[in-house]
């Protein structure tokens, strides 16, 4: 099961040091399973990260550079497709954001090029799906007062197996999503069919509409904006607890791999504003920035049958790693697809047999680029347009180098002290960018 929050910051969960927001279920999940201390989203924004989860490849390889642009190309091999071929039941629940739900409409308007970018979860290997094209309100998404981007058309909201749902869904959006995912899991267990489920919450992405169950009871002493945001995170956490309880009641928790992460850092420019009260602490930057706060996110994997005790992983890992990790589990050699993969299998790392990643992780967003290895991080052009930082905009430098082992907050640019390291990483970054460009031009797809 792949679970993902939307715009949840590194510092928004208790196990990462947040003493205000109640996240008891995620805290327990981290304490019971594998806690990743350097887990990265594939991008600094939504859609690209989602594509990386399903394909094992950086989104710049197939044209999903940012949110609401491009689509998951049919030539890409996805986890749902692979699991479906293996006899698994496959289901997607929640946000999709990798294509339009219909060839003739998108709430994002004519520039979404709906026919060209028509790609539903069902077209990517999911037999059962309940999804939205993009973000909806975190509470009462069908209430006109909560509409996203001033779009009131129900086609901008939920679709179930290709049929638009026009009314009747109220209350906590995280619960709405889980209300559809759990019956799918129950049915699979009853039929003794293995399952692969993707559960992608909208919370705590805007429109941030607080959950009244928690606003006053838990957060009555905080500002109204804080109450809205904090309660939405707690409501998401409650649904993760509900899912874990359901797996135990069904008797499949031991043999189910449950993953949780976020698609990027918290919204807000340059810091917490309005209802954007997420935290990237102690890191620099937020959503849309390739500094750590924009891409270092919560990461947990729980698999009791294999990992019976809590352990922490300090090796850098990324959402692109899900694909090769699961493929190794089912005995599939991804090299048969004859294309470059950016993710690696995490089994040796999770088992403690490997303490270094070995291969760097590349990032691109807008005009920004970066490369992360086991110790150092090279960043390029992070003063570019739309750069966001907790400290506001900073002067643009062509390249910066940080020692993440000793300076995770990226406070000291050491590029002048380590020209050899920087030069090598610049070469690696440039080679990787060229590889992505070749992929994006179709080099990986056979005629």
Same domain, 423 and 316: no
| 447 lies in some domain | no
Same domain, 43 and 128: yes
The CATH number of the domain holding residue 340 is 3.40.720.10
Residues 376 and 247 grouped into a single domain: no
What the block records as the tokens of 144 is 């006109």
Residue 386, domain member (yes or no):
yes
Q: What angle do CA 318, 320, 325 make, to 5 degrees?
A: 95
Domain limits for position 436: 361-440
Query: Does the residue 224 lie in any domain?
Result: yes
CB distance 126 to 100 below 8 Å: no
Indicate whether 288 belongs to any domain. yes
Residue 446 lies in a domain: no
Torsion of CA 82, 335, 51, 202, to 10 degrees: 50
Strand partners, 328: none
300 part of a folded domain: yes
CA-to-CA dists, residue 126 to 68, 82, 110, 122, 427, angstroms = 21, 10, 27, 5, 39
Kindly give the confidence (pLDDT) of every residue in the chain, 447 residues in length, as a single tens digit, with 9 standing for 90 and above: 999 999 999 999 999 999 999 999 999 999 999 999 999 999 999 999 999 999 999 999 999 999 999 999 999 999 999 999 999 999 999 999 999 999 999 999 999 999 999 999 999 999 999 999 999 999 999 999 999 999 999 999 999 999 999 998 999 999 999 999 999 999 999 999 999 999 999 999 999 999 999 999 999 999 999 999 999 999 999 999 999 999 999 999 999 999 999 999 999 987 889 999 999 999 999 999 999 999 999 999 999 999 999 999 999 999 999 999 999 999 999 999 999 999 999 999 999 999 999 999 999 999 899 999 999 999 998 654 434 444 445 555 589 999 999 999 999 999 999 999 999 999 999 999 999 999 999 999 986
**Is 272 in the same domain as 309?**
yes
139 and 79 belong to one structural domain: yes
* Residue 355, in any domain of the structure: no
Tally of domains in the chain: 2
Query: Where among 350, 379, 411 does a domain terminate?
Result: 350
């Amino acid at each position: 099961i792949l679970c993902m929050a939307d715009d949840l910051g590194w510092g928004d969960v208790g196990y990462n040091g947040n003493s205000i927001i109640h996240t008891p279920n995620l805290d327990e999940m981290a304490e019971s399973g594998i806690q990743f201390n350097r887990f990265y989203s594939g991008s600094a924004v939504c859609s690209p990260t989602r594509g990386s989860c399903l394909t094992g490849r950086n989104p710049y390889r197939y044209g999903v550079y940012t949110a609401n642009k491009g689509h998951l190309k049919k030539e890409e091999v996805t986890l749902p497709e692979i699991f479906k071929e293996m006899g698994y039941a496959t289901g997607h629940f929640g946000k999709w954001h990798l294509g339009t739900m219909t060839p003739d409409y998108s709430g994002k308007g004519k520039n979404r090029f709906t026919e060209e970018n028509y790609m539903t979860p069902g077209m990517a290997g999911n037999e059962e799906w309940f999804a939205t094209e993009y973000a909806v309100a975190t509470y009462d998404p069908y209430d006109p007062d909560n509409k996203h981007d001033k779009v009131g058309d129900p086609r901008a909201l939920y679709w179930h197996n290709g049929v638009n749902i026009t009314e009747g869904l109220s209350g906590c959006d995280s619960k709405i999503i889980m209300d559809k995912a759990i019956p799918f899991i129950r049915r699979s267990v009853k039929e003794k069919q293995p399952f692969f489920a993707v559960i992608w919450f909208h919370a705590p992405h805007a429109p941030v509409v607080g959950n009244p169950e928690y606003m006053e009871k838990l957060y009555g002493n905080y500002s109204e904006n804080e109450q809205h945001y904090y309660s939405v995170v707690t409501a998401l956490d409650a649904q993760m607890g509900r899912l874990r309880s359901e797996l135990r009641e069904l008797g499949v928790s031991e043999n189910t791999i449950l993953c949780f992460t976020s698609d990027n850092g918290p919204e807000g420019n340059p810091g917490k504003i309005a209802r954007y009260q997420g935290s990237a602490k102690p890191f620099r930057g937020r959503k849309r920035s390739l500094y750590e706060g924009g891409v270092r996110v919560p990461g947990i994997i729980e698999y009791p049958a294999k990992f019976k005790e809590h352990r922490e992983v300090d090796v850098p890992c990324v959402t692109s790693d899900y694909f090769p990790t699961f493929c190794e589990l089912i005995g599939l050699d991804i090299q048969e697809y004859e294309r470059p993969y950016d993710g690696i299998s995490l089994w040796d790392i999770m088992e403690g047999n490997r303490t270094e990643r070995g291969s760097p992780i590349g990032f691109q967003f807008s005009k920004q680029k970066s490369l992360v290895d086991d110790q150092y991080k090279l960043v390029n052009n992070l003063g570019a347009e739309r750069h966001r930082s907790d400290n506001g905009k900073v002067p643009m430098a062509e390249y910066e180098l940080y020692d993440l082992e000793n300076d995770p907050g990226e406070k000291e640019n050491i590029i002048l002290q380590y020209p050899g390291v920087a030069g090598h990483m610049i070469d690696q970054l440039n080679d990787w960018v060229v590889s992505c460009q070749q992929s994006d031009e179709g080099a990986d797809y056979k005629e």
